[in-house]
Structure 1
């Protein structure tokens, strides 16, 4: 941020007075929370995004009734701006820009008319301006203005000199803000208690006893504060510039990497094609040689047998004729040779085949996963900035199994049921879901403050709310522990309650939470809880509830990475997955607390999520994520890459909330208002 060297005249003639949206001079400029200004009309024309937010979400935003908030993006910095009072209000006027625009008009409007003559029904060109009254005057009215007792000492200046810039500072000195409540009264003082500008009529008993000072005395404190903040910004600018240069270099390196990877993958494909062709040629040559050798042997056998057959036919024909027409002495003369030959033929063994060639082709497994294993895959883990690019997150990265089972192109719908209980007067809000060892489904009904247990086909088996001191306040999520008890997060009472499946209280874990939401277990059976207010994860002993460790969920620089976390799950390697409404939407930590991976940005496209809710992992490492506002389920490979959308709105999925896998390997999802759906996905 360089020190400005522009004069007031230069500033007024620059693009400083141009609206970033319409690119014209500001018309009623309004100051946005990001400190950029737009015309009031331009703000109204910007596209809106409207969202509905549940009672327990975004509670700090002070939303209007109905929990509906309108937003738009600033065209300068793309910041998401919430409309005041749910879209019905307006932003604060930028008085500084408004006054500079007025100065610009004084200097450039060629067709200004005398205000007094206009009031009298005449149209006369203005030749001067009263800086005190801000009135345009013709020559006659100017003379009259100088003759009245009230206005004779007013500073009246000619427009010809105004247009030449001779009175810029004088005009600025005479500009003042007017009170919105008391028309035409200038704001002359400042209440430091209310931090509000006041006109003389505003100083009512409402400000009695408050410290009200004039503007000159009020300015130093706030001027010093603002200048200090500007100074702090200046100290950050070099590092921001350096980071911009880093990002430019990073993008350039990524482009080079892209080209190299494209070349490498093409080379690999060509190499595999060559090897496949070579393997094919060898197999085909072997097929030819083996079959032709066997065919030659069979042909030799056939030829020999055909010769023998012909010989036998000749022998039989000769002997038949001999016996029919031969004389006794002729038969007896040859009987020895005939008997010997016929005896040989009777005892002769055929020179046939002792074995038969059985040849076939057994194709290798050609699944997509096997092909990817053979071809290779990208290693695109997010390496923390500052580490060597060659540093590997050995043991921490999400691992992909080389032989994953194939997922159905379309998940097969099995059944659906409504998770209704008894004596309920509020809509069902099934925020949590887990599965018992018997494949019974445990549901948290947040708004009815119940835990409900259904069998695998949707029959209600049990419901409970706790009793006396152990009564459930506002539950959110649930997990089934190794001993088949049920652990529930209660963010109203800031604790975890453990019950048997009959509803008997076993244990309360408290003193560690401010707003516990998601809950799960790891491979050791330890309880993991994500706290959205403290933005951290705690790990507890399932028997005593004692704290084992706290995971602060920080990056390498010590910055909190969790913003508004909801649900939590673990992988088979005990990596921790947390869904977060702030992008990236899924944060991954190891059990030592190191931030190792992330997934998802904010939006509606692939690998984008509008509001991530439930998350779970199946026995093969597939990861399932509920995208509540996009009405879909993301299916991720174990390495965190999007495999497909398992379910979307076209599959009748509506505002999915909690997700889980049954003991039989079926995928389960709860929907807003209580519907539970089961699918077969493998």
Structure 2
């Protein structure tokens, strides 16, 4: 027997009185056929545009943006016939009496699931399994008891769902208010700053000076006209005494003017340094973002594929929101070869993210249900290789993050990201910087300027906040790295030392305070650049020995690459980076390539050659490894930035000369996963190149 859930009346549309066809449930809880509802809305418009009234309760409802078809389907009404009140011909079930034979029901047909009298058994139910009604009733009483328990639990579950949805609506309203308050707060801050500048300009007005200048001008003009009239063109006819007196008075006037300067008070009286252009500001990072943790049935993560290569299906995530990140939860695809790890589906598989009632309740009860983030998102390392990349991670705030670069052919026809910030690096004396290295500590951007012999620190808007220079003992700085303790280790080629300074302002320690230093080995006479591995060990390239030296944080030389004397692996080792497994990656300035080694110095691969084609370099410079394992290299003279897979295969050019890139010198990745680019001219750019879906 079917479960007793709805009556026959519940399965009929109140507009057409027929069984539901495409039943759509409204926000008020009433259900109608899609066609019937469409006709009703067309003929019963509400006063407000885009609204209609429920045919049953007359509640005013908003028409969905995607049309009535996008309303939720009432799956409980998707039945071909009622699930109770079965039509039993010639029977009065509730009365317990057969109207055909005028006899009481004493039997029950298990095959037809109907009660019978003695006469009903023949011939309609001949050969069927028939039992005594009294025995069947005992089973039904127990079954009904269990069904009622199940129904009660479903009622409780539905109540919890409604409560969760109410909380969700309240969370939306709260965040709307928070967003408006945030907007007002920012608006007030901008207005206050505007008033401050206006007041400062008003205070700087030179009203008195202007009045005095006007008076002086009038006096000088008067004297000039007076003297001009007295001095005739033919001075020979003028009396001598008059000429002497006029000459004396005129000289006195000129002497007075010499003692009172008529020059403007300063050479450059007023300058307005405009801030970042609105188009270049990352509004979500500045204002905040809304992240929703609910994946509705059939929702997909969009791929950014732009080519004919096979694209990966979007990843499906487990229901749990508290599992730690699996560093191997990555799918890669190279042509027809696919690999799957962890919870990610292989290419060609069909799976979409779905949820049932318990999933929704878990999502609603998880923290946070719905939140506004300040633009700060943790970036966890994951492994990638190949051409098609999806990396998933469970972040500390329980948001799931999918980073994707899309799919494309080897021509590099991919979305390359967009520049979200640009500024001209300046020192405190307004001199343009010429960066040779860039790194980040927190929200601060650290730039090495070897021409000014300074370490320059900027905020993310490009304002100079602090600098360390010769007064702090720097001679010829070349590179800087950030230690685990958020201190700055600066490679000083002039003194052949590594010097440590504080990288953040702490309670009892100022920013940029000198901490300690250690001297390099006497063999390393031409140190070039530096990197730091996961053990806080420093890796330094040296052009004199054509090698890489690995030092402990205390300054002890651990080993070199190459380790054998006389072996030559580099032409001119320059920049250096460390991979997620402590791989050592070096850009060879004169060799026009990069070379990779494991942590023990064993050769792994080489990428690049001299030239201008794809996969070639003209003097590679800065190099870094991003949060998902890509190797990113500055191609200085070709005016482009290469993005490679972790095993050294070309993937695409992130930026080229056509994008406005000129002589990229160094790169690094900030805590938001954006690429920081330092050009030789001192231009600092922020590139958002990973597509993030939450």
Coarse TM-score class (shorter-chain normalised): 0.3 to 0.5
Q: Which has the higher contact order (CA 8 A, sep 6+)?
A: 2
TM-score, scaled relative to structure 1:
0.43
Larger proportion of helix: 1
* Larger-Rg structure: 1
TM-score, scaled relative to structure 2:
0.43
